[in-house]
Structure 1
Amino acid sequence: MAEMQFTPQMLLEKITWPVEDSDDEDFDLDTTCRITGFLRMFIETGTLAQLLTFWVGWEMLPPELRVEISGGTLPTSSTCFETLKLPAHFKLYMDFEKALVAAIKNVNPHLSSCCELLELILRKGLQQPVLGLVHRDYWQCFEQLLQHDNCGRLSAVSLAVEQTLACRKLLSAQGRGRYLLRLALRRRVLEGVIKHLLHTPKVLEWYNPAISLLMNEEFVEPFMSLLMVLSEMDFKLDMENCSFLDESWLLPVCDMYEAVPCRELGMVLRYLSGRVFVLKLLPGSQAQVDKCVHPGDIIDEINGISLRNACNGQAGVVISRLKGRPLSLRMLRWCVQEGGVYRPIIKLLRALREENPSLQLGPSPSSQQPTNQGQRPTPSQIVYIVQFLGKTNIGMNGGKEVLQHGIPLVLQQNQPSKQVHLDLKETHLICTEKSNMTELFQHHYPEISCVGRFGQPDYTVFAFCVADSPETTQSTGFCCVVLRASTVKECEEIVNRIATGFKHTEWFV
């Protein structure tokens, strides 16, 4: 109510703008024009609260200032060359300044509002074809630029349009237009794209000059000022997370799940409206052990192969083609970072629940313990300090029975021992010398034929067998690698972890 009494026009009039011939050393005409244009965008369309929400976030303002603004009291304001310190008593000025220069990512709460505003301007006054056979959107305008703009400087626009056309996750003109806008923001070329649009009459004639902002000189100038501001901002957007742009500017939480080669991942899938949903995880399966996939999540792509608009069984076909290779799955989460359901899939989740009343959605990010990005509390994060005792060729048999004579053979050779780091990662193990961090060997779990402990003298010695020259086509037999742990418990733990890694990576041949 009272909020509507305080408008950007009032703020604009209250600002003390410096004059060009002033003696002020901080005067910057370019900055002045940009801020002026930016503010004028909101003069007829919103309140100061909307301006602040778009620019820095209403929630960033101190509570007492929000009360003052809502009460209709006009705060004092500074000059524009001080980066427009909106009210002089704006206590979070440092946060405000950081918000202007910080990288903008998919999770930025104001990103969708910014994109919606740009989309609204580009659609304003866009006329539909007379016959109405095809719905015209601003995407078609960008496409037509390649045919009708004769300036010869369309390289950035052409590349953006070509990349958009090549994206298989987009099914509609709306999705492609939104993808191109995000791409232009990321590459800082949106201002150039709109300039090309403004000097291409064949495309501009699609707009109604009476209501289009692009055809109105009074509005074009502040709009271009806004684009100039946006071109200086750092948009670090994940362009692969685009499968929902056909439906919404709101994008889901997107995570990568790296799975080792295995017999089966153990996920029950349901294909619904072109999406591949995870219904449940099989007990003891690779997916359940890794704890990176949850019921309700969507498989967006596998090893770069998009599953957007997938038909029944398509995910299984893709995985079967990749048999024996590590899998990289792009997962779209059913919930947002704050813990609520991702709105564009609410109806789909409701349909899944009607079909499967027992469906239990996985935990939301807010209900889990925070971990470092890209890390999971799995055996892949364990590094042991052990003694490397040596290795030797044991012939063409790599079965577990050879360990009983392979280990004594290495011990009898009295090779110089080295203190090493044994890093048991998710898909492979790496051994590096502790003194100089030189890598001694690296083996993927499928290369390991067996692993076990030596029964004497103190149960701290263990070994595993690998192909002696896995990089060559001609086999030279197997090699027995022998190491010593610091304790019996640690030795048993290492053997179990290697065995677990091998179990999850073995394939039937």
Structure 2
Amino acid sequence: MSVTHPLLKILKANILELYTEERVIHDYNLNLAPFCRRLEDIFTLGLKNGNNWFGKPSYWAWINKLPQQRNPSFDHTVHFVKDCLKTSTVDGKGRLFLRAALVKKNLDIVIALVKENPVLLETWYERDSIIGNEILSEIFISLLEQVKTITFSLNLKNASYLDVTWDIPVYKDYEFVPCEALGIHFIEVEGHMIVLSVDKGSVAAEDGKVQPGDVLDEMFGESLKDVKRGRVQELFQHYKGIPVYVSIIKAREYSGNIYRPLRTALHELSIDPLKHQDEENSEETNGIDCVKPPHTILEEEETEMTPVHGPDGSASYKVTYIGEYSLGSDGRVERIEDGVLKVLQSNNRKNLSVMIYLSETGIKVRSLSGDEEILNHSYTEVSACGRRTDYLQHFSYIAGETSCNLSKDFVCHVFHASSQELTKVILCAIANIQCCCRLQLFAILRLENVPGGQHT
């Protein structure tokens, strides 16, 4: 009879889910947190107190006791976690270690080292655990060997909330010009520097980089976790006259929702990042403009215009149609975020190889296998197009059952392209053609409202 364990089966499924995405896994990958939680479950299963009878059982405690100078990569990982000032609990240290070991591709070494030390293994694990069982631990190692074929590009600086959660916030590094003041007002809450307000017209307010509810995590490379408020001003004065380097934990997640560990504190401070974003959007011009929508330009530093067609002048592109999500009567561009997410999380993905055709009048999508027409929308039915910042090879457009101003049933259609560059080209093509169509319609309406005016 084969020996197995439910957690190992789930872990294997988690690994397969990672393989369905791009081979480089970033912090914003939706499958990362479930995978890491499963690793933690396995490391915690059957864990004893070891020699620490009064402390909480912790896998970091025994990892920290493994013999050093056996593997340089493992030693470096352990020292990195020990020296990190952003994690203070055994849970946080353990989670940071798992993330660092995934990046360094040495997680299998940890299990091999503890198996070589029977006394340590028996001290910390029950025999019916996965790590304490000879056969199950070998299966676990074989799965970790598969994990090593995946590249994890994780921001290990982003560790200030690992003490309380596996959910990783959006993390931004900014370089501001030398200045007398950044224009940021903040308060210390449970060891975190939360931004209360940002002065309009200040350096920090440029392009909305820093917003109320964000957390100051680092300044000039120094952690601000659990430091006194005065330390921020000391650093600013010490490095006065040079560019200001600041690392920010954003109040909003990749999905657009408020980051969960911040919700209680922001509520008590009467800070609503969602309302603040809506107020910023309302200040933008409502005029018709042929500049590409913000959702089609995702890199903050990007300034070059992207061509609307491929290098061969073609307006047809081979992509994968992932699926659709009904948005009801709301066809705003903001719905791109949750529309894409809902489709990617769905168990009913279509995953069809298709050609998307962009004509002067609309968008057509045909199946590559049977040349069947799957979608056909005129630009007057398309309300928005764009992509999420965490899935750059996925793009989508929102279309109604009739012209946008009359439609009551909008649907978000999601696609996957072979590269980020191709996604950008397609989105810019849709945005520019759609924009020109709207300008022509606007010109017709203006002409028809002029006495004696006519259109040919």
TM-score normalised by structure 1 residue count: 0.53
Q: Quick one: distance in 1 between partners of 2:144 and 2:274?
A: 46
Query: Could you tell me which amino acid in structure 1 is paired with residue 16 of structure 2?
Result: W
RMSD, aligned CA: 3.3
Q: Quick one: distance in 1 between partners of 2:64 and 2:275?
A: 44
Distance apart, 1:219 and its partner CA: 1.6
Partner of 1:201: 118
Which digits, 9 at most, give the CA deviation of each residue in 1:373-414, with x for residues without a partner?
A: 24278xxx99xxxxxxxxxxxxxxxxxxxxxxxxxxxxxxxx
Q: Quick one: distance in 2 between partners of 1:103 and 1:366?
A: 33
Which of 145, 169, 173 is equivalent to 1:228? 145
Which of 28, 32, 35 is equivalent to 1:111? 32
1:369 maps onto 2:294 in alignment: yes
**What's the secondary structure of 2:77's corresponding residue?**
helix
| Structure 1 pair 282–360 and aligned structure 2 pair: CA distance change class (3 A) | farther
Partner of 2:210: 293
**What's the secondary structure of 2:186's corresponding residue?**
strand
Which digits, 9 at most, give the CA deviation of each residue in 1:180-228, with x for residues without a partner?
A: 1111111111111210011112321233434321121332222111111
| Structure 1 pair 309–234 and aligned structure 2 pair: CA distance change class (3 A) | same
| Structure 1 pair 365–212 and aligned structure 2 pair: CA distance change class (3 A) | farther
Q: Quick one: distance in 2 between partners of 1:358 and 1:108?
A: 23
Query: Could you tell me which amino acid in structure 1 is paired with residue 17 of structure 2?
Result: V
| Structure 1 pair 199–365 and aligned structure 2 pair: CA distance change class (3 A) | farther
Q: Quick one: distance in 1 between partners of 2:113 and 2:87?
A: 24
**What's the secondary structure of 1:156's corresponding residue?**
helix
| Structure 1 pair 131–219 and aligned structure 2 pair: CA distance change class (3 A) | closer
**What's the secondary structure of 2:248's corresponding residue?**
strand
> Is the 1:126–1:206 contact (alpha carbons within 8 Å) kept by the matching residues of 2?
no
> Is the 1:338–1:365 contact (alpha carbons within 8 Å) kept by the matching residues of 2?
no
How many residues are matched?
Answer: 294
> Is the 1:175–1:247 contact (alpha carbons within 8 Å) kept by the matching residues of 2?
yes
Distance apart, 1:314 and its partner CA: 2.3
Partner of 1:126: 47
Q: Quick one: distance in 2 between partners of 1:360 and 1:321?
A: 36
Larger CA Rg, structure 1 vs 2: 1
Distance apart, 1:361 and its partner CA: 4.3
Q: Quick one: distance in 2 between partners of 1:329 and 1:358?
A: 20
Distance apart, 1:279 and its partner CA: 0.7
1:55 maps onto 2:33 in alignment: no
Distance apart, 1:234 and its partner CA: 0.9
Which digits, 9 at most, give the CA deviation of each residue in 1:263-286, with x for residues without a partner?
A: 111111111110011111112222
Distance apart, 1:45 and its partner CA: 6.1
Partner of 2:63: 142
**What's the secondary structure of 1:261's corresponding residue?**
coil
> Is the 1:41–1:223 contact (alpha carbons within 8 Å) kept by the matching residues of 2?
no
**What's the secondary structure of 1:205's corresponding residue?**
helix
Q: Quick one: distance in 2 between partners of 1:290 and 1:105?
A: 25
Q: Quick one: distance in 1 between partners of 2:15 and 2:80?
A: 29
1:334 maps onto 2:251 in alignment: yes
Distance apart, 1:130 and its partner CA: 7.1
Q: Quick one: distance in 2 between partners of 1:165 and 1:211?
A: 30
Distance apart, 1:365 and its partner CA: 12
1:159 maps onto 2:76 in alignment: yes
What runs of 5+ residues in structure 1 fail to find an aligned partner?
1-8, 10-35, 58-95, 383-509
TM-score normalised by structure 2 residue count: 0.58
Which digits, 9 at most, give the CA deviation of each residue in 1:348-392, with x for residues without a partner?
A: 212222xx7999544699999233324278xxx99xxxxxxxxxx
Which of 129, 132, 143 is equivalent to 1:212? 129
| Structure 1 pair 194–291 and aligned structure 2 pair: CA distance change class (3 A) | same
Partner of 1:250: 167
Deviates more, 1:295-304 or 1:119-128: 119-128
